[in-house]
Amino acid sequence: MYRPSTDPCIFLHGEAEDWPRLLGEDLVKELIKRFRHVARDLDDFIKYALENPQAVYVGLAGLKVGGRFRQDWAAYVGLGYVSPNYRTQWPFVENGVELDVRIQVSPCFLLSRLDREVVYIWRNRAATIFKWVSQLPRHKPLEVFRRAFPLELRELARSRGYAWVAWTRWRDRRNKHLAEWLYWLDTGRLPHIDYLVRRCGAASCTKIGGAESLYKLAGSYVVG
Amino acid sequence: MSLVSQVRERLGVEWELVWRPPPPGVFLLKEEYLTKAEAVENICARGDTPVVYIVVYIGDVVVVYGRVKPAPAKCPVATFSKKFPVGKAREAVRALIDYALEVDKIPVFQLNPDVLRYADLCHLFPLVCDDPVEVISHVKKSREVSVRRPKGQAGDVFTLLVQVLKEKVDLDPAYLEIVKKVVEDPERLRACYV
C-alpha cells in the first residue's frame, strides 16, 4: 500500500521534483511501470498526465492507497472522480470586489471522468468557461485554457495577487477556485501542492504587483 | 454455429472462456451506448442467447468490451479474456477495438476516448479523441479535397447532403455534434422520417 502526501491533483502538477517528494519513490516507480507504453521516465509520465488528464484513472485500477488522502485516492482510482472543491487555503486579502466570472470548480476537476453528472457540474458551476471554449478539452487542457482565458483576467491575478482574486466574490461566493485556475495557468503547478512543499508562501501569493495599468484592463470583469 | 463458437473462432484459442460476468473494469464503449441489462433479460427469456463480453487484463487494469451493462442476471454470460503484460496496453486495447469495429461493426464514435487515450491510440482515431489540432487538420484536408473536385457534376443526394452538412458545420461548429450523433446511430435518423 502506498501512502502519498498529496491528493490525485498532483497529476496536473508539472513540477517533477515534487513528485517523488510527495508520492514517494515507490509510487512513482509504480506509475511509470503502469504507463510504460507511453512513458519511459517520470518526465514522460508527467507530460502524458498533463496532456491527457481524463485518461490517467484508467491505468490506476487496483492501486492500493492509504494515508491522509486515502479517500481522495479511493474515489479517483475506483470511480475516476476528483472533487470539484477548491483545496488552497488562500491567505485573507480584504477587498469588496465582485467579478462576473462563474468558475466554482477547481482545475483538479479536469481529472474526473466525463460522465453525465460531471458534465452537469462543469456546465452548472463553471458556466463562464463555456463562453471561452465550446466544450471541455480532453487533450492538452493547460494549453487550451492558457489560450482561452481572457488575458485581462490573468493580468488581474498577476497584478493584484492570486489571494486577492480568491477573496473577490461571484455573487455571495468567493472566487477561490478561480484563483487556483489562474495560478495553474501561470505556473503549470497547483497552489495547494506548492503550499505543501512550501514553494508558495503567503507573501508570494498575495503580493500586489505594480501593474496598475494592466489591472485597469480587467475592468470588464469587475462588477460595481 | 453458435454465437460463442463464432467469437472463439474469431479471437483464437489463446483467449480463455469462462461462463460468468466480466470483472469490474473500464468499458471500451461509452456508457450511453451500453444496453441496460433489464432490456436484454427479456430477450434471454425467449431463448438461450448468451451475452458475450471480451476482456483484456493489463496488469491490474481491466478493459471490457461488451454491448450490455453488466450483468444480466437471467442470461447466460460468456466472458472471453486474455492477459497482456504490463506495457502492452496498446496491443491489448487494439485487439478489442479490432473485434468491435470489424466483427460487430460498431461506429467508431461509440469508443470510449479515455480508453483510447490510456492506450495511446488517439493517432488512429483523432476525431474520437477530440484532439482539436487533429480535427482542424482533417477539416482543412476535406476542404482541399472539395476545392479540387469539379462542381456540378455529381447530382446525387449524397453529394448534396455532404455539401449541406459542410456548410452547416462551417457556419456553426457545434453542428458537428449533430452529425456525430447521426454517425453513431443512423437508425435514429430513420425513426425521424419513416
DSSP A36-68: TTT-SSHHHHHHHHHH-GGGGGGGGTT--B-ST
Q: Give the pLDDT confidence score for residue A57 in this predicted structure.
A: 96
Annotate B125-182 with three-state secondary structure.
CHHHHCCHHHHHHHHHHHHHHHHHCCCCCCCCHHHHHHHHHHHHHHHCCCHHHHHHHH
Instruction: Report the chain A residue with the minimal C-alpha distance to residue B172.
Output: A134
Reading the block at residue A200, the C-alpha cell is 508558495
pTM for the full predicted model: 0.80
Q: Give the pLDDT confidence score for residue B127 in this predicted structure.
A: 77
Q: Give the pLDDT confidence score for residue A202 in this predicted structure.
A: 46
Residues of chain B with pLDDT under 70: 1, 47-48, 130-140, 142-160, 194
Question: Would you say the C-alpha torsion B171, B188, B97, B103 has a positive or negative sign?
Answer: negative
Q: Give the pLDDT confidence score for residue A217 in this predicted structure.
A: 36
With bands split at pLDDT 50, 70 and 90, how would you rate the model's confidence at A201? low
- The pLDDT tens digits for A176-186 are 999 999 999 99
Closest C-alpha to A1, from A59, A69, A50, A52: A69
Q: Give the pLDDT confidence score for residue A218 in this predicted structure.
A: 41
Residue bearing cell 496496453: B89
Q: Does the beta carbon of A142 lie under 8 angstroms from any beta carbon of chain B? A: no
- The pLDDT tens digits for A26-76 are 999 999 999 999 999 999 999 999 999 999 999 999 999 999 999 999 999
Mean pLDDT of chain A: 87
Which B residues in the span 133-172 are in contact with A, Cβ-Cβ below 8 Å?
A: none
Check whether A214 has a pLDDT greater than 80. Answer: no
Q: Does the beta carbon of B174 lie under 8 angstroms from any beta carbon of chain A? A: yes
Instruction: Write out the E strands in chain B.
Output: 16-18, 26-27, 51-58, 61-65, 77-84
Dist CA A49 CA A73 (whole Å): 16
With bands split at pLDDT 50, 70 and 90, how would you rate the model's confidence at A159? confident
Burial per residue of B3-39, b for 16 or more beta-carbon CB atoms within 10 angstroms, e otherwise: eeeebbeebeeebeeeeebbeebbbbbbeebbeebee
Q: Give the pLDDT confidence score for residue A158 in this predicted structure.
A: 87
Q: What are phi and psi of B54, to 5 degrees?
A: -125, 130
**One-letter amino acid for residue A214 of the chain:** L
Closest C-alpha to A110, from A192, A186, A184, A27: A184
Q: Which of B32, B60, B173 lies at the smallest CB-CB distance from A61?
A: B60
First-to-last C-alpha distance (Å) of chain B: 34
ipTM of the complex: 0.83
The secondary element (H helix, E strand) that includes residue A99 is strand A98-99
CB < 8 Å to B86, chain A: 33-34, 36
Q: Give the pLDDT confidence score for residue A99 in this predicted structure.
A: 93
Query: Mean pLDDT throughout A75-92?
Result: 93
Q: Which of B87, B114, B132 lies at the smallest CB-CB distance from A54?
A: B114
Q: Does the beta carbon of A55 lie under 8 angstroms from any beta carbon of chain B? A: yes
| Contact yes or no for A167/A124 (Cβ under 8 A) | no
Q: Does the beta carbon of B113 lie under 8 angstroms from any beta carbon of chain A? A: yes
